[in-house]
Structure 1
Amino acid sequence: MADAAAEMDAIYRVQRHIYDASRKYYLLGRDGLIEGLDPPPGGTVLEIGCGTGRNLILAAHHHPSARFFGIDVSPAMLETAAASVARAGLSHCIRLAQADASRLDADRLFGIAQFDRVFVSYALSMIPPWRDALDCAFRAVSPGGALHIVDFGEQGQLPSAFRTGLRAWLRKFSVEPRAELEAELRRLAEQHGAVLTFSRPFRDYACSAVLRRAA
C-alpha cells in the first residue's frame, strides 16, 4: 500500500486543492450515480476511492438517513476529505480510513463487513490491480445490496482526435480506461447470480453500471 499511497500523493498533493473545481467538467455521471444509490433507511454506504470527500458529502445530503464510509489510499486526499467533511458538519455520519482498494478489509477498518450500497466513481481507472479492487468492492456488498460504478468509457462514438487527446491527458494522472470492465462485471454477475445493468452514456465517454447482489 505504501507505494500506491506515495504515487497518489505525488500526483494529488497539490491537485487536491483544485480537484473538485476542475474535475466537475469531465467526471460525468457522478451526480446521477449518487442520486440513484437509494439506500434503505438507516442503511450503510461505502465509497471506494473517496478522494476529496466530495461524493460522500453530496450523498449524505441526498440520503440523510444513511451512514457513509469512505476509503482512499492517499493520505493527502484523506486529509482534504476529513477537513471537507468536518466543514460540512457531517463527521457524525461519514467515516474515513486509509486502505488499498485491491486488499480491502472493511470489517477491520469500520467493524462492518458488508454494506447496503458500495460505489466507485472514476477510481477503477486509476487502480492498477483494478480487477482485484472490483472483486473486493463486490464482496463488500450485502445480500440484496448493489455495487454502483461510473468511470471513463472507451469513447468509441466520439471523434478520434478527441479520444486521442483525452487519453494522452489522462495518462498524465495515471488514468487508464478499463476496456474489459463490462466483461469483468458480467463475470461477477454470472458467478454470483447477480443482476447487471450496464450502459455507455455520453456517446461512450463514460460507462455506468449497477451490479445487484441476490437477497
Structure 2
Amino acid sequence: MPTSDHADSMDAIYRTQRHIYDLTRKYYLLGRDRLIAELVPPRGGVVLEMGCGTARNLIVAARRYPDAQFLGFDISEAMLDNARASVRRAGLQERIQLVKGDATAFSCKRLFGIGGVDRVFCSYTLSMVPGWEMAVAAGADALRAGGRMHLVDFGDQNSLPGWFARGLNAWLARFQVSPRTDLAPVVQHVAHQRGLLIDHRHLYRGYAQYAVVGG
C-alpha cells in the first residue's frame, strides 16, 4: 500500500499544480519522448509506468504503440484524478488501466492481477520518491523474461554552468525533487543481481540521465 505520509505530501503539492503540470513541465522534463520512442513493446505486450502522474506519457505511448496494453500507478490520488480524466478524453480507457500504488512497494500481481510486464518505464519520478532504490529494484522484478526497464530523470548537470545547476537544484527542491546523482551505480547493482544488462547515458550535457535495464 502507498506510504501515507508521502502520498499526503504529493497530494498537497499537486492538488493545484496538476492543472498546469503538463503545460509547464514540457519545457524541462527532457528525454521523455526519447524514452517512449525506444520502448518498442512486442505486439500484444504490456507496458507499465511507475509514477504515471497525469498519464501524459501513457497516452503518448498508447497512441504510438496501438498493439500494446498500458498500465500505470501513482501515489497521488490528486494526480490520478487528472490522469483518469485525460485517458477518458483520449478515448483510451480500454487500453490504459490506472491504479493507486507506491513505486517502492508494488507488485504487478497485487495491483493488476498479472505476473509481469514486457516494459517498465519511469520518467522524472525517482527524484521524488523516498527510498527510490527500492523502486528501481521493484521495477526490474516486474519484468517478464526478455523485458526492459527504461528510466529517465534529472542528472548531475556537471557539464552545465554552475549557476544553472545551483538555480535548477534550488528550484527543484521547492517541489521535493532531488536529482539522483548515484542512479548509475544503483541501477548497475540491481541489474547485476538479476543477471540483466544496463545502458546508462548522460543527456543534454548532464541535465538528464537515461538508463535501460534488460535481458
TM interval, shorter chain, is over 0.9
For residues 51-94 of structure 1, what are the alpha-carbon distances to aligned partners after superposition, in whole Å with 9 as ceiling and x for unaligned? 00000000000101000000000000000000000000000000
Among 110, 116, 121, the residue aligned to 1:108: 110
Among 20, 27, 30, the residue aligned to 2:29: 27
Q: Structure 2 stretches of 5 or more lacking a match?
A: none
Which residue of the partner structure matches residue 15 of structure 1? 17
Which residue of the partner structure matches residue 199 of structure 1? 201
Deviation, 1:2, is 1.5
Q: Is 1:146 the counterpart of 2:148 in the alignment?
A: yes
Among 71, 78, 82, the residue aligned to 2:80: 78
Q: Which moved more, 1:89-98 or 1:185-194?
A: 185-194
Q: Is 1:176 the counterpart of 2:178 in the alignment?
A: yes
Deviation, 1:192, is 1.5
Q: Is 1:89 the counterpart of 2:95 in the alignment?
A: no
Which residue of the partner structure matches residue 117 of structure 1? 119
Partner secondary structure for residue 150 of structure 2: strand
1:126 maps to amino acid? M
CA distance in structure 1 between the aligned counterparts of 2:80 and 2:109, rounded to whole angstroms? 19
Partner secondary structure for residue 36 of structure 1: helix
Deviation, 1:5, is 1.0
Which residue of the partner structure matches residue 3 of structure 1? 5
CA distance in structure 2 between the aligned counterparts of 1:159 and 1:113, rounded to whole angstroms? 46
Which residue of the partner structure matches residue 162 of structure 2? 160
Identity fraction in percent: 52
1:174 maps to amino acid? Q
CA distance in structure 1 between the aligned counterparts of 2:101 and 2:188, rounded to whole angstroms? 26
Which residue of the partner structure matches residue 189 of structure 1? 191
The runs of 4+ residues in structure 1 deviating greater than 6 Å are: none
CA distance in structure 2 between the aligned counterparts of 1:191 and 1:2, rounded to whole angstroms? 30
2:21 maps to amino acid? Y
Partner secondary structure for residue 35 of structure 1: helix
Deviation, 1:134, is 0.9
CA distance in structure 1 between the aligned counterparts of 2:155 and 2:65, rounded to whole angstroms? 27
Q: TM-score, structure 1 length as denominator?
A: 0.98
CA distance in structure 2 between the aligned counterparts of 1:138 and 1:189, rounded to whole angstroms? 8
CA distance in structure 1 between the aligned counterparts of 2:211 and 2:97, rounded to whole angstroms? 25
1:35 maps to amino acid? A
Among 61, 66, 70, the residue aligned to 1:59: 61
CA distance in structure 2 between the aligned counterparts of 1:25 and 1:112, rounded to whole angstroms? 35
Deviation, 1:113, is 2.4
2:161 maps to amino acid? P
